[in-house]
């Protein structure tokens, strides 16, 4: 091909290219402008968007005012197919908002106009919300459902709405009275801090009612006349989700109150100011299930309405745009027996240190009572406590020994003292001399001979001990529990004095009162007990702890708890009915011939028990935790007192009182 031909082709290409450029309809520029608009609206900031007929700053202020009621929500905005007509273009904008539990979707249209080489957006409020006019903004109204109840055995209402009175100063009723004087008098009457309450009253608006305290309506000692005698003071009737008493299962159930700023911030939009929410225990864990979801309305209304004008529009004058239906909460069903729970709390009412009683039904695993005494100061000792179990752990040792061929009638050696790697072990104070020397395993168990069980350390490995513990449901996951709990921890490896200590429930062995009751219950059932407490956990709940999860190690007054390993998925080799029968025989001997003879008078089915005294700390003599576990028909109970001395003398009488009254 000659040079002239190459030149002709080049010219054709140039002409064609020039034609394409010349025929450009500006679609690319319009699309870029549309995308900029969509992105800016999604960010709720159009200050950088050039508008036709509207200052960008003014447009931005109006947009923020329109959507202010939806704060902090922001929309997703996606552009649709652009339609071009010379120097104008129309673009669909597909909006999607997350409003409560609902999704509000709609489509608007924006118009663009070309001005010189720029595309400008024609300002129109209807591009933000369909048919929105100038001078209109969005408004919202939400309605919260009543909180659902927490139920116990037989659907007894453990937590339900109960009448209360909000006592406070109603500032419009003060008249000429001194607000500070009235606030001080009311605070003194109800036991509030006078200085702090006076400040609250002073800071509140002129129309405010400033609550000082909320009191249960039944049983309150403050009279209407006492309140009425204080200028501006008033009692307003209300109702709140409450347990039967202020202390009833409080650590386990948790409480309900108005959400604080921290809870609102952490909720990810689920909570807002004025909402009630659960704090601690099951109320917090199952908050979403119990709370339900708000009903929300979004509407268009005239901008700048006063509170009175807005109130007047409640029955009309607003254009509805979107609605999320109210969803009631679902009652939480538990196995707690209100009578046994109250009995356990009454029994512990006079105990000064941290304490607990856990009672469960071995046949089903149902937790009937999980009480933490007043000395626990609000901590859930019953479910979450982590303590050395002491001699109640000899139930585990005995199972391991039985599996090695020992029987309750086998002879074991019980010396007064025993030395292991330079550490001296001895029996508890007052150990009977008649049960020293060569005795049956039953006798050593009944009188809790430490040295006899430590003597078995060479025939019972730490791994066998761990296996025996899981066989009895200790340190095993509890998928049906539905509540945060410490399920026990038994190390699989330990040497020397640590292994010797674990033979008497010390060293690194840890149990909670719950896991102690599980252990005793597994003996009564003849199979591992898997506890259950919550019967209908909502799988979609925002529970902070999964059902049966092990709680984080928690410090107690006995010192910080060690970090315990996670529980086993399932029992290694489940205890058999034959093995359990031998253990039951020895637990009965604790009552018939051992140092829990005081339980022989408990009416009904024969009681089997095991006491435990666990040393802790570095005092000389060391302080001790007091334990006792028992089985009584289809009931297994663990009683624990922190720093309580001897299990038999401290926890034993509490157990007797509980079993006798439980019937």
Residue 474 within any structural domain of the chain: yes
Residues of the domain holding 630: 379-533+560-638
560 pLDDT band (50/70/90 cuts)? very low
Residue 308 within any structural domain of the chain: no
Residue 617 within any structural domain of the chain: yes
- Pairing type for strands 157-170 and 233-242 reads antiparallel
Structure-token pair, residue 142: 């939400």
Both 284 and 228 in one domain: the answer is yes
Rounded distance, CA 400 to CA 404, Å?
7
Residue 585 within any structural domain of the chain: yes
Higher local confidence (pLDDT), 460 or 544 = 460
19 pLDDT band (50/70/90 cuts)? very low
Cis status, amide bond into 621, omega within 30 of 0: yes
Q: Look at residue 458 in the predicted model and tell me its pLDDT.
A: 87
Rounded distance, CA 235 to CA 480, Å?
44
The CATH number for 156's domain is 3.90.1310
Both 156 and 125 in one domain: the answer is no
Q: Look at residue 78 in the predicted model and tell me its pLDDT.
A: 97
Both 161 and 117 in one domain: the answer is no
Rounded distance, CA 457 to CA 464, Å?
10
Q: Look at residue 397 in the predicted model and tell me its pLDDT.
A: 96
310 pLDDT band (50/70/90 cuts)? low
495 pLDDT band (50/70/90 cuts)? confident
Of 297, 320, 344, the one marking the end of a domain is 297
Q: Look at residue 261 in the predicted model and tell me its pLDDT.
A: 86
Domain count, the chain: 3
Both 213 and 162 in one domain: the answer is yes
The CATH number for 45's domain is 3.10.450.100
Q: Which residues, at least 6 apart from 641, have a Cβ–Cβ distance to it below 8 Å?
A: 351, 353, 354, 355, 625, 626, 650, 651, 654
Q: Look at residue 631 in the predicted model and tell me its pLDDT.
A: 98
Structure-token pair, residue 129: 């919300």
With 70 as the cut, is the pLDDT of residue 516 above it? yes
b/e sequence 545-573, b meaning 16+ C-beta within 10 Å: eebbbbbebeebebeebeebeebbeebee
Question: Mean pLDDT across the chain, nearest whole number?
Answer: 88
Q: Mean pLDDT across the stretch 533-557?
A: 50
- pLDDT exceeding 70 applies to what percent of the chain? 90
The CATH number for 478's domain is 3.40.710.10
Strand blocks (E) in 400-467: 411-414, 417-420, 423-426, 437-440
Both 161 and 278 in one domain: the answer is yes
Both 383 and 502 in one domain: the answer is yes
- Pairing type for strands 150-151 and 332-333 reads parallel
CA-wise closest residue to 628 among 251, 252, 425, 359: 359
Q: Look at residue 504 in the predicted model and tell me its pLDDT.
A: 86
Q: What is the pLDDT of residues 49-89, one digit of tens each?
A: 999 989 999 999 999 999 999 998 999 999 999 999 999 99
Q: What is the pLDDT of residues 272-303, one digit of tens each?
A: 888 888 999 999 999 999 999 999 999 999 99
The answer to whether the beta carbons of residues 138 and 146 sit under 8 Å apart is: no
Of 297, 315, 336, the one marking the end of a domain is 297
Rounded distance, CA 314 to CA 253, Å?
38
Q: Look at residue 314 in the predicted model and tell me its pLDDT.
A: 57
Q: Which residues, at least 6 apart from 317, have a Cβ–Cβ distance to it below 8 Å?
A: 301
Cis status, amide bond into 72, omega within 30 of 0: yes
Beta bridge partners of 77: 95
Residue 69 within any structural domain of the chain: yes
Both 96 and 174 in one domain: the answer is no
Higher local confidence (pLDDT), 9 or 95 = 95
Rounded distance, CA 216 to CA 421, Å?
60
Of 268, 297, 326, the one marking the end of a domain is 297
Q: Mean pLDDT across the stretch 629-651?
A: 89
Higher local confidence (pLDDT), 631 or 20 = 631
With 90 as the cut, is the pLDDT of residue 11 above it? no
Residue 607 within any structural domain of the chain: yes
Structure-token pair, residue 354: 């941290």
Both 121 and 229 in one domain: the answer is no
Among the residue ranges 48-62, 237-251, 262-276, 448-462, the one predicted with the least confidence is 262-276
Residue 102 within any structural domain of the chain: yes
Determine the straight-line distance between the first and last CA of the chain, rounded to whole angstroms.
Answer: 115
Beta bridge partners of 169: 210, 233
Rounded distance, CA 634 to CA 630, Å?
11
CA-wise closest residue to 434 among 425, 426, 419, 444: 444
Both 127 and 155 in one domain: the answer is no
Q: Look at residue 311 in the predicted model and tell me its pLDDT.
A: 65
Both 70 and 189 in one domain: the answer is no
Q: What is the pLDDT of residues 82-123, one digit of tens each?
A: 999 999 999 999 999 999 889 999 999 999 999 998 999 999
Look-up: residue for tokens 């403050």? Answer: 222
Question: What does DSSP assign to residue 501?
Answer: H
12 pLDDT band (50/70/90 cuts)? very low
Within 13 Å and on the Cβ side, how many CA atoms surround 505? 32
Q: Mean pLDDT across the stretch 450-468?
A: 91
Both 482 and 580 in one domain: the answer is yes
Structure-token pair, residue 158: 């453990």
Rounded to the nearest angstrom, the gap between the alpha carbon of residue 462 and the centroid of all alpha carbons in its chain is 35
Q: Which residues, at least 6 apart from 622, have a Cβ–Cβ distance to it below 8 Å?
A: 615, 616
With 80 as the cut, is the pLDDT of residue 220 above it? no
Residue 208 within any structural domain of the chain: yes
Both 193 and 93 in one domain: the answer is no
With 50 as the cut, is the pLDDT of residue 562 above it? no
pTM: 0.82
Rounded distance, CA 127 to CA 77, Å?
11
With 80 as the cut, is the pLDDT of residue 18 above it? no
């Amino acid at each position: 091909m000659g040079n002239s031909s190459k030149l002709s082709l080049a010219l054709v290409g140039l002409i064609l290219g020039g034609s394409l450029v010349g025929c450009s309809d500006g679609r690319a520029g319009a699309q870029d402008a549309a995308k900029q608009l969509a992105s800016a609206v999604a960010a709720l900031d159009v200050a950088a968007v050039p508008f036709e007929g509207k200052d960008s700053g003014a447009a931005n202020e109006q947009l923020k005012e329109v959507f202010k009621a939806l704060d902090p929500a922001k929309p997703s905005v996606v552009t649709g197919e652009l339609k071009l007509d010379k120097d104008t273009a129309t673009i669909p904008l597909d909006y999607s908002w997350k409003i409560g539990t609902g999704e509000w979707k709609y489509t608007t249209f924006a118009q663009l106009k070309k001005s010189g080489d720029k595309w400008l957006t024609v300002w129109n409020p209807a591009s933000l919300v369909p048919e929105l006019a100038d001078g209109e903004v969005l408004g919202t109204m939400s309605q919260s459902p009543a909180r659902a109840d927490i139920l116990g055995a037989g659907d007894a209402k453990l937590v339900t709405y109960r009448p209360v009175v909000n006592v406070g100063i109603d500032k419009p009723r003060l008249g000429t009275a001194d607000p500070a004087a009235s606030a001080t008098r009311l605070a003194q009457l109800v036991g509030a801090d006078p200085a702090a309450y006076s400040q609250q009253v002073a800071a509140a608006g002129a129309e405010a009612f400033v609550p000082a305290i909320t009191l249960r309506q039944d049983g309150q000692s403050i009279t209407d006349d006492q309140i009425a005698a204080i200028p501006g003071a008033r009692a307003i009737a209300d109702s709140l989700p409450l347990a039967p008493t202020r202390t009833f299962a409080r650590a386990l159930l948790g409480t309900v109150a108005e959400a604080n700023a921290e809870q609102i911030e952490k909720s990810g939009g689920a909570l807002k100011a004025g909402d009630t929410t659960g704090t601690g225990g099951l109320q917090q864990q199952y908050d979403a299930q119990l709370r339900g979801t708000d009903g929300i309305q979004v509407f268009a209304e005239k901008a700048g309405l006063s509170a009175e004008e807005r109130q007047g529009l409640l029955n009309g004058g607003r254009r509805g745009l979107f609605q999320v239906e109210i969803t009631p909460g679902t009652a939480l069903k538990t196995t707690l027996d209100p009578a046994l729970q109250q009995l356990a709390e009454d029994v512990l009412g006079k105990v000064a240190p941290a304490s607990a009683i856990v009672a469960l039904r071995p046949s089903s695993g149902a937790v009937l009572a999980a009480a933490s005494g007043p000395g626990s100061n609000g901590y859930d000792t019953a479910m979450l406590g982590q303590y050395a179990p002491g001699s109640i752990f000899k139930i585990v040792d005995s199972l391991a020994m039985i599996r090695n061929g020992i029987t309750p009638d086998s002879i074991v050696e019980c010396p007064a003292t025993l030395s292991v790697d330079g550490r001296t072990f001895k029996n508890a104070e007052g150990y009977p001399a008649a049960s020293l020397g060569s005795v049956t395993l039953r006798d050593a168990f009944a009188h809790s001979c430490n040295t006899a069980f430590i003597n078995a350390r060479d025939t019972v490995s730490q791994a066998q001990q761990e296996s025996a513990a899981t066989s009895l449901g200790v340190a095993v996951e509890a998928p049906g529990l539905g509540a945060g709990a410490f399920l026990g921890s038994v190390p699989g490896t330990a040497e020397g004095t640590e292994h010797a200590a674990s033979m008497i429930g010390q060293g690194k062995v840890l149990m909670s009162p719950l896991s102690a009751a599980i252990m005793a219950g597994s003996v009564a059932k003849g199979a591992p007990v898997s506890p259950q407490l919550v019967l209908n956990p909502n799988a979609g709940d925002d529970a902070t702890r999964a059902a049966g999860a092990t709680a984080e190690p928690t410090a107690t007054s006995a010192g910080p708890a060690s970090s315990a390993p996670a529980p086993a998925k399932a029992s290694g080799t489940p205890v058999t009915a034959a093995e359990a029968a031998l253990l039951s025989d020895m637990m009965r001997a604790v009552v018939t011939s051992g140092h829990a003879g005081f339980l022989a008078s408990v009416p009904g089915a024969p009681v089997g028990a095991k006491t435990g005294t666990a040393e802790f700390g570095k005092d000389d003599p060391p302080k001790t935790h007091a334990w006792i576990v028992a089985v009584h028909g289809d009931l297994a109970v663990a009683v624990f007192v922190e720093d309580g001395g001897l299990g038999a003398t401290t926890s034993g009488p509490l157990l007797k009182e509980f079993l006798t009254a439980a019937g």
